[in-house]
Amino acid sequence: MKQNFDNNSFRDFEYIQGMDAWSRAKLFQAYLDDQSAKGQWNYRLLTTSGCGPVIQMGGKAMISLVSNDYLGFTQHPAVKQAAIAGIMKYGAGAGASPAIGGHYDYHELLEKKIAGFFGKKHAIIYTTGYTSNSASLQCILTKDDLVILDGGVHTSVMEGCQTYNRKTVKHNDLDAYEHALKLSAGKHP
């Protein structure tokens, strides 16, 4: 009997209790084949234009509802010009992590401006939102903390919590949250 994968995503194949890596890979391949056969494959689709509300994909203009360029700054002429000027001065990359030589004066200026905007003494920037989530959680949490996560939370949050006491509950299941809280009452400082 063919398995129904209509409600699955990549995350469903990260860890399946009782399955080794080869079995998971075989099941994941069945998922990929199913999605492709139905014309529902929606990962790593080739885009041939810059980010924007309309993008070029497969030779067609498509409305993009997946961008995180909420304010359209990636295409703003002043932002593009600043990027060009930055590349001309600094090159195409930091060459090192901020901890060991990749923290430049423009990072410092941006962090000061962000801190000032929020009325704080300090701010820190990360290279991506993913890193911001995973790294911040790893800095804030301790081995004694309990993290109760919604099953639909972004993978970056899951990664940031992976080495801590973690309970994942079904997406939007308030009863499961309540149950997890009751079970953990008094066990974590």
User: Helix (H) and strand (E) counts for the chain?
Assistant: 6, 4
- Cite the DSSP H helix spans in 10-154: 21-37, 77-90, 105-117, 129-140
Q: Say which residue the tokens 């295409």 belong to.
A: 75
Is residue 145 within 8 A of residue 165, CB to CB? The reply is yes
What is the model's pTM?
0.61
Residue 137, pLDDT score: 93
pLDDT tens column, 153-167? 998 999 999 988 899
Strands 165-169 and 146-150: parallel
Tens place of pLDDT for every residue, the chain, 189 residues? 678 888 888 778 877 888 888 998 999 999 999 998 998 887 888 899 989 999 999 899 999 988 888 888 999 999 999 999 999 999 998 888 888 888 999 999 999 999 999 999 999 998 888 999 999 999 999 988 999 999 889 989 999 999 888 999 988 999 999 999 999 888 876
- Of 123, 129, 126, 120, the closest CA to residue 109 belongs to 123
Tell me the per-residue pLDDT of 79-115, one tens digit each, with 9 for 90 and over. 999 999 999 999 998 888 888 888 999 999 999 999 9
- Structure tokens, 106: 């423009």
pLDDT score for 118: 97
Please tell me the distance from the alpha carbon of residue 172 to that of residue 181, in angstroms, as a whole number. 15
pLDDT given at position 62? 93
